[in-house]
A and B are shown apart, each in its own frame.
Chain A
Amino acid sequence: MIRITFVLAAFATFASTPAGAQLLNQDHGQYSRADIEAGQRLYGPQCQVCHGATGDGVAGIDLRLGKFRRVTSDEDIARIVTSGIPGVGMPPFKFQTAELTSIVAFIRAGFDPASAAVRVGNPDRGRALFAGKAECASCHRVNGRGPRLAPDLSDIGAIRTLAALQRAVLEPNESLLPIHRPVRIVTKGGETIRGRRLNEDTFTVQLIDDKERLRSLTKADLKQYTVETTAAMPSVKGKLTDDELADLIAYLTSLKGL
């Protein structure tokens, strides 16, 4: 086994740069468990010597946690693997499309065959979807633009895994953090207030209302206080194609904050 690996790696190193780096189609924006496991089998002999068992062997890169220096999308990863990077020790590898797909799947699964490997498409197309078809920008704010009704997403790619991002856009109700739950309030003075909860304690509640004002209210002054468990956000399921979903995820994961 070791001998075969060596030969394969040596062959890959001296192969000429292929023109394209195709990936196989995946179901519902995720890679299959079989792909992830196949990727795991390839990673050990092919990649681990430099990138390490936990994916953080090269400075500035953590494959397992999705931290890269040059790539964003799955196609980017496939291209780098296929072409290599001259001068920095990353050789070109000559993989079959299925092998390439499995390597990407293993990386995207966070090196864990039991978890889901989320497809990551093109972030520029994802940005357009965010503002357009997916209608995210009508509530969410990014880098100082957009409303503050929903949580600011400027650094969402730094604080959420790919799987969590995908779950959030497909199943908003299953992902809505309790603190972010929408509230509906009627004060004893008769004012109706709708907003997103920011903080709460036994006697008071803090929120940002639908006019984007920070409000702090004393519960004793309220006639009605309802915390909704349904997210105001619609799912993108049925609205975006699998490719578009991958593009949207690519954009979200690219949002790393300042």
Chain B
Amino acid sequence: MTHTRKALALLVGLLLLAANSTAQNVTPERILNAAREPQNWLTYGGGYASNRYTPLKQITPQNVKNLEHQWVLQGQVLGAWQSTPLVVDGIMYVTERPNDVLALDAKTGRAFWVYRYNNSADQRVCCGANNRGLAIHGDTLFMGTLDAHLVAIDAKNGQPIWNTTVADSKLAYSITMAPLVIKDKVIVGVGGGEYGIRGFIAAYDVHTGKEAWKFYTIPAPGEPGSETWQGDDWVHGGASVWVTGSYDAELNLTYWGVGNPGPDWNSAQRPGDNLYSDSVVALDADTGKLKWHFQFTPNDNYDYDSVQVPVLADLTWQGKPTKAMLWANRNGFFYVLDRVTGKFLLGLPFAKVNWASGLDKNGRPIQTPQPVGAPTWPGNQGGTNWYTPSWSPRTQLFYFSAWEGYSSIYRHEEQQWEIGRNFSGGGHKVVTPVPDAPGIGIGRRTPVNNWTDVVGHGTVIAMDPQTGQRRWAFEQYDVTDSGMLTTATDLLFTGGREGYFYALDARTGKQLWRAALGGQIVNGAVSYEIDGRQYIAIISGNDLVAFALRQ
């Protein structure tokens, strides 16, 4: 390339950038190349690899102490606020409980519009009126609803454009995840794993809402995998999908984590491996056809959902460039898979595990059920859970929130399935040092930590995927459900239930800065840039807070 041509290319590039900054038309190409526009946050996971890494460099380990809050948006609805905002050319789109959408000026936090979706009265969810965010295509936002609809919303004025029934909420189907847009389709999965649903992932035309394909996470009789179920267990076998998937455009494969089989805690009632519960499935993005699957926890007896976000990382594995997938599972094991074939490359426990003695050469757990009344490690909420991890291509480390020192005692009971009713097959109790002491719940209930660290605590683990060993760990007193964000300056932003928001050195785990925001942090931070200024936004309790360097 000559200098003139280079200059011309640069100019065209700049013009395109300038056009983009006002056009707000989020094409599939823009999402595919999200890393080229680090000023935006275009998908739930910050790009199709879902590695929540920003190339922005303004905030550094040296100046991070100068972060100060720029604005706060007060949530209007109490309860765990699990949403990840999208940021498109200076405008932030964020969901609030139960299914409200707000468009904000990302620089000031002031609202342009609010959309409120009215859920039907029969909607039913196990664990709160949660929503984790949106997807965008063109000028259209997409949101799944608690009553299992998928709604397309005009990003400019907050008006609904179409509303498709994904599943019947009377049968306790729901949607809590942020959808994923791939090309001209928007993809969602359904929740309801505690109610005897039959899970699926489905794609819809972004323009019309018409179903394009549907992949059932439980095969029907006669289909491959159906031999892992008996009788009519498959009809109400759960295998929900409630966290967003990832996408490899070169392979045209989209990857999704699948939830627990039902009834949750009584595997004896559903003999077999129960595919594709507790698995990752790799689907053709155009047809929804299964390319491969890998099951983490066959015949799960503990509610070890595998709804973690599939994080795609390009590694050098044993000397060879490898398209890998990194996965810290609720079952307490960390896995490295080959995402082309689904081949198991590595798997080791990252926390105390006693439900299995280890993994065989194919990654299948050697299960060691504990005696009745004895603790099982990790406990019901898992070694980790849906909390969004991060992979930094710079540090080559994988970061996630883990629960340690935490176990549960399970009850496994026979249960009849009834439409729309809880179908958990028993129960569990967090192990406490004395009877009736407070345990750890799904969310933090009180500002007094009266359960203390003796029933468990949270740790940020920096995992080296080459060895399956932690490079460093950052320990917190209470447990944490917080997601991760890494930066091109090797910062790691995360939080916890105690309401602290941290900037850690991503290479060492050293704490460089923290803000006491007060409310539990149950999402992952996002980063964006407006007018040359880098922002970090995080939700703590009922506050959405945006930080930038003091000017």
Interaction A to B: yes
Interchain CB contact under 8 A, A204 and B105: yes
For the complex, is A212 an interface residue (Cβ under 8 Å from B)?
A: yes
In the complex, what's the smallest C-beta–C-beta distance from B506 to chain A, in angstroms?
A: 33
A interface secondary structure, majority: loop
- A141 and B157 form a contact (CB under 8 A): yes
Over the window 98-115 of chain B, the binary record of Cβ atoms lying under 8 Å from chain A Cβ atoms (1 yes, 0 no) is 000001010110111100
Q: Which B69-119 residues have a C-beta within 8 angstroms of A?
A: 90-91, 103, 105, 107-108, 110-113
Which of A144, A152, A199, A211 contacts B111 (CB under 8 A)?
A199
Q: Which residues of A contact B157 (CB under 8 A)?
A: 141, 148, 152, 208
For the complex, what is the distance from the CA of A214 to the CA of B105, rounded to whole Å?
A: 9
Q: Mark B11-31, 1 if CB is under 8 A from A, else 0.
A: 000000000001010000000
Which parts of A139-197 form the interface with B (CB within 8 Å)?
141, 143-144, 148, 152, 154-155
Q: How far, in Å, is A150 (CB) from chain B's closest CB?
A: 10
Known contacts A144-B154, A204-B105; A154/B159 CB under 8 A: yes
Across-interface contacts of B113 in A (CB, < 8 A) = 198
A213: interface (CB < 8 Å): yes
CB contact between A198 and one of B108, B112, B154, B163 (< 8 Å): that residue: B112
Tell me the nearest residue of chain A to B155, going by C-beta.
A214
State whether A212 touches B108 (Cβ < 8 A): no
Could you tell me if B162 and A258 are in contact, using CB atoms closer than 8 angstroms?
A: yes
Contact between A204 and B159, CB atoms less than 8 A apart: no
Tell whether, in the assembled complex, residue B112 and residue A199 are in contact, meaning their CB atoms are under 8 Å apart. yes
CB-defined contacts of A204 to chain B, threshold 8 Å:
105, 108, 110
Q: Which residue of A lies closest to B160 (CB)?
A: A258
Contact of A206 with B162 in the complex, beta carbons under 8 Å: no
Q: Is the CB of B156 within 8 A of A144?
A: no
Of the candidates A154, A201, A214, the one whose C-beta lies within 8 Å of that of B91 is A214
A257 at the interface (CB under 8 A from B): yes
Report the minimum CB–CB distance from B260 to chain A (whole Å).
Answer: 33
A152 near B161 with CB under 8 A, answer no
- Tell me whether B159 and A152 are in contact (CB under 8 A): yes
Q: Are A216 and B108 in contact (CB under 8 A)?
A: yes
CA distance A235 to B121 in the complex (A): 41
Chain B residue numbers with a CB within 8 Å of A206 are: 105, 110-112
Q: With A204-B105, A258-B162 as given contacts, are A212 and B156 in contact (CB-CB < 8 Å)? A: yes
Cα A201 to Cα B111 in complex, Å, equals: 10
Contacts of A152 in B (CB 8 A): 154, 157, 159
With A206-B105, A213-B22 in contact, do A141 and B110 touch (Cβ < 8 Å)?
no
- Minimal Cβ-Cβ distance residue in B for A212: B156
Interface class of chain B by DSSP: strand
Instruction: Among B108, B156, B160, point to the contact of A214 (Cβ < 8 A).
Output: B156
Cβ–Cβ < 8 Å partners of B91 in chain A: 214
A218 at the interface (CB under 8 A from B): yes
> What distance in Å separates the Cβ of A62 from its nearest Cβ neighbour in chain B?
17
Q: A152-B154, A208-B156, A214-B112 are in contact. Are A144 and B105 (CB under 8 A)?
A: no
Give Cα A216–Cα B108 distance, bound, in whole angstroms. Answer: 8
CB distance from A53 to the nearest CB of B (A): 26
A199–B159 CB distance below 8 A: no
Do A218 and B108 have beta carbons less than 8 Å apart?
Answer: yes
Q: B163's contact among A148, A213, A258, by CB below 8 Å, is which?
A: A258
Q: How far is the CA of A204 from the CA of B24 in the complex (A)?
A: 21
User: In the complex, which residues of chain A have a beta carbon less than 8 angstroms from the beta carbon of B110?
Assistant: 199, 201, 204, 206, 216
Kindly identify which residue among B103, B108, B156, B161 contacts A143, using a CB–CB cutoff of 8 Å: B161
Q: How far is the CB of B117 from chain A (nearest CB, A)?
A: 9
With both chains docked as a complex, state the minimum distance between the C-beta of A67 and any C-beta of chain B, in angstroms: 16
Query: Is the pair B159, A141 in contact by a Cβ cutoff of 8 Å?
Result: yes
Whether A148 contacts B156 by the Cβ 8 Å rule is yes
User: In the complex, what residues of A have CB within 8 A of residue B108's CB?
Assistant: 204, 216, 218
Closest to A152 in B: B159
B521 to chain A, nearest CB (A): 26
Closest CB of chain B to A224's CB: distance in Å? 20
Q: Which of B107, B151, B157, B161 has the most CB of A within 10 A?
A: B157
> Among B90, B110, B113, which residue has the most Cβ atoms of chain A within 10 A?
B110
Closest-by-CB residue of A relative to B207 is A144
Q: Distance (Å) between the CB of A44 and the closest chain B CB?
A: 34
In the bound complex, what is the Cα–Cα distance between A95 and B134 (angstroms)?
55
A198 to B110 Cα, complex, angstroms: 10
CA distance A206 to B111 in the complex (A): 8
Tell me, in angstroms, the Cα distance from A148 to B139 when the chains sit together: 12
Q: Could you tell me the distance in whole angstroms from the C-beta of B110 to the nearest C-beta in chain A?
A: 5
**What's the least CB distance linking A158 to chain B, in Å?**
11
Instruction: Give complex CA distance A257, B110 in Å.
Output: 26
CA of A204 to CA of B162 in the docked complex: distance in angstroms? 32
A199 to B163, CA, bound (A): 27
Contacts of B154 in A (CB 8 A): 144, 148, 152
A211–B25 Cα distance when bound, in Å, is 13
CB distance from B38 to the nearest CB of A (A): 21
| Alpha-carbon distance between A257 and B105 when the two chains are bound, in angstroms | 26
With beta carbons under 8 angstroms apart, the residue of B22, B112, B151 that contacts A216 is: B112
Known: A148-B157, A152-B159. 7 other contacts (CB 8 A): A154-B160, A199-B110, A211-B22, A212-B156, A214-B91, A214-B103, A216-B110
Chain B residues in the interface with A (C-beta under 8 A):
22, 24, 90-91, 103, 105, 107-108, 110-113, 151, 154, 156-157, 159-163
Sorted from nearest, which 4 A-B pairs have the closest CB atoms? A216-B105, A258-B160, A144-B161, A152-B159
